[in-house]
Chains A and B, each alone.
Chain A
Amino acid sequence: MSTPYYENQDLKKFKNISDWSPELGKKFFDYYNSVFEEGALTSREKSLIALAVAHTVQCPYCIDAYTQDGLERGVDKQEMMEAVHVAASIRGGASLVHGVQMMNVYEKRSM
C-alpha cells in the first residue's frame, strides 16, 4: 500500500519544524506572525494574497490553511476565486512573456 507524500494531518505539525532547530524555528514563526498582523494592508487582504501565493507555489497545506483562514475572515467564494485567477494570470503571464524571448531568438536565427 502506498503512502501519500502529503498528509492533511501534517499541517497541524507545522510548528514541529522548530523541534530540530528551535532558534531558527522561533525566528521564522515570529516573523511569520508579524507579517500577518494588521498594517498598511489589512489582515484580510494579506490572507487573500497568501491564498493566491499558495496556489502559485502549489502548496496543499497553504491552500487548506488560507481557504479556512479566508472563511473565518468572511472572504466569499467569488473573492477567493478572483485571487486564484490573479495567481493564474501571473503564472500564465510569466510563461507568455517569455514568448518574447522565443520570438527574439527565432527572429535572430532566421533569415
Chain B
Amino acid sequence: MAVKSLKGRQHNLADSKRQLEYLSNGIFAPGGLPTFETQVKTFQDTSLRPKTLEILQINLGYMCNQVCAHCHVDAGPDRKEMMSRTTMEQCLKILKQTSATTLDLTGGAPEMHPDFRWFVSEASKIGVSDLIVRSNLTILRANKKYYDLPEFFKAHNIHVVSSLPFYKKEKTDRQRGDGVFSQSITALKELNKVGYGKENSGLQLDLVYNPSGAFLPADQKALEADFKKALKKDFDIDFNQLFTITNLPISRFLAYLIASENYEDYMQRLVEAFNPKAVAQVMCTNTLSVSWDGFLYDCDFNQMLELKVASPVQNLNDFDLDQLQDRFIRVSQHCYGCTAGAGSSCQGSTV
C-alpha cells in the first residue's frame, strides 16, 4: 500500500484537470456512453439545481494519518492544506445566517486540525440540530492526545460517522492499511464505552461502508444487519446505522480503476445502474461544501476535482445564499456514482 498521496508521488492523476479529461473522453467521447448531463436530461427537463440548503459540509484540511487506497480526497500525512482560523470564523458566521440544520465536518482527519476542538465547541453553541464529525476511527488511537476524543464528542453531542469498510480484518486492511482493522475495533469499543451507539444514549454512532474494489455496494439494510450481527458476535460492538457509499471514480479510486484495468467495466456498470429516482435525491441539491481555503463547491467530490460552484459567489468572502441558490450544479461522469442503484450520498443510500 502507498504511504504517500498521489500529490506526494507526483502522480499524473493528482492533477484534477487530468482526472476530468479522463472522465470526459474514452468511453464517454461522442458516440460512446452518454455523459451524465445527457443522461439526466433524458429524464428531466433541466440540469440539476439546488433546493433548500440543509447541510453545510466543511472540509478542514486534507491531512490524514491514513493513506487509503480508495480515498477521493487524496488525503495523507503529507498533505498540509489546512483551514485557517479566519476561515473557520467565517464558516461559523455563515452557519448562523443560513437555513442549514446539519454541520458536517470532514477532511482528511478533521481531528488533526489544531483548532478542531475550538471549532467544534463554537459550532455546538450555534445549535445546529445535527453536528457530524467524520472520523476514520484510527485517529482516536493514533496518539495519546486523541484518546479523550470520545469524551469530547460526547460533551458536545457530536454525531460520529466512522469509516469501517468491512466487519472483517482482511478487506479493511487491504483498503486502508495494515493494522487499521484492529485499531478501528479498539476505537469503536472506546466510543461504545462512553455510550456511543448504545440504545437510549442519544449518542449517534454510524458506520460507513464502501466497497473494497471495483463493484457497487450491497443493499444498505441487508449489509447493516450483517455488520451488526458480526460486530456484536465477534467484538461486542454496537452502532446505530450503516451508510453504504459508492466509490466515485476520482482521485485514488480512479487511479486504482485505471491501473487494475477495471475503469471501463466500472463506468459501464455505473451507467447501467443509473436510477432516475436517485437523481431527485442527490446530496449536491441540499449541501454546500466548503474547502480549507474557503471556496464553495456543490459537494466534496467536486471540491477534489476543483469544480467550484457555477456562481459569481465562489468564496466565503462573498457569501450570499440567495445568489448561490440561483445556480446550476456542476456535473461530470463521476456523478454517475451518486445515481447508481439505490443512490449514494454522504448519508448513505438515497432511494
Contacts and interface: CB of A to CB of B under 8 A. Distances in A.
B166 A74 contact: yes
Interface string B194-229: 000000000000000101010111110011001000
B222 A42 contact: yes
A44 interface: yes
A72 B218 contact: yes
Given A68-B215, A74-B166, A43 B222 contact: yes
Contacts of B170: 76-77
B230 to A, nearest CB: 10
Nearest to B226: A74
B11 interface: no
Interface string B170-210: 11000000000000000000000000000000000000010
A39 to B, nearest CB: 13
B268 to A, nearest CB: 8
A44 to B, nearest CB: 7
A90 interface: no
Query: Which secondary structure dominates chain A's binding surface?
Result: helix
B171 A72 contact: no
Contacts of A73: 218-219, 222-223
B215 A74 contact: no
Interface in B143-187: 166, 168, 170-171
Contacts of A76: 166, 168, 170-171
Contacts, number: 31
A4 to B, nearest CB: 18
Contacts of B222: 42-44, 73
Interface residues of A, number: 11
A102 interface: no
Nearest to A77: B170
Contacts of A68: 215
A35 interface: no
A71 interface: yes
Interface string A32-66: 00000000001110000000000000000000000
Contacts of B168: 76
B170 to A, nearest CB: 7
Nearest to B213: A71
A74 B166 CA distance: 8
A77 B166 CA distance: 13
A64 B57 CA distance: 39
B162 to A, nearest CB: 18
Contacts of A77: 170
Contacts of B218: 44, 72-74
Contacts of B171: 76
Interface centre among B215, B218, B223 (most CB of A within 10 A): B218
B249 to A, nearest CB: 17
Contact of B217 (A42, A43, A44, A72): A72
A80 to B, nearest CB: 13
B333 to A, nearest CB: 19
A95 to B, nearest CB: 34
Given A43-B219, A72-B218, 5 more contacts: A12-B272, A43-B222, A71-B213, A73-B218, A76-B170
Top-9 shortest CB links A-B: A71-B215, A73-B218, A72-B215, A74-B218, A72-B218, A72-B216, A74-B223, A68-B215, A74-B226
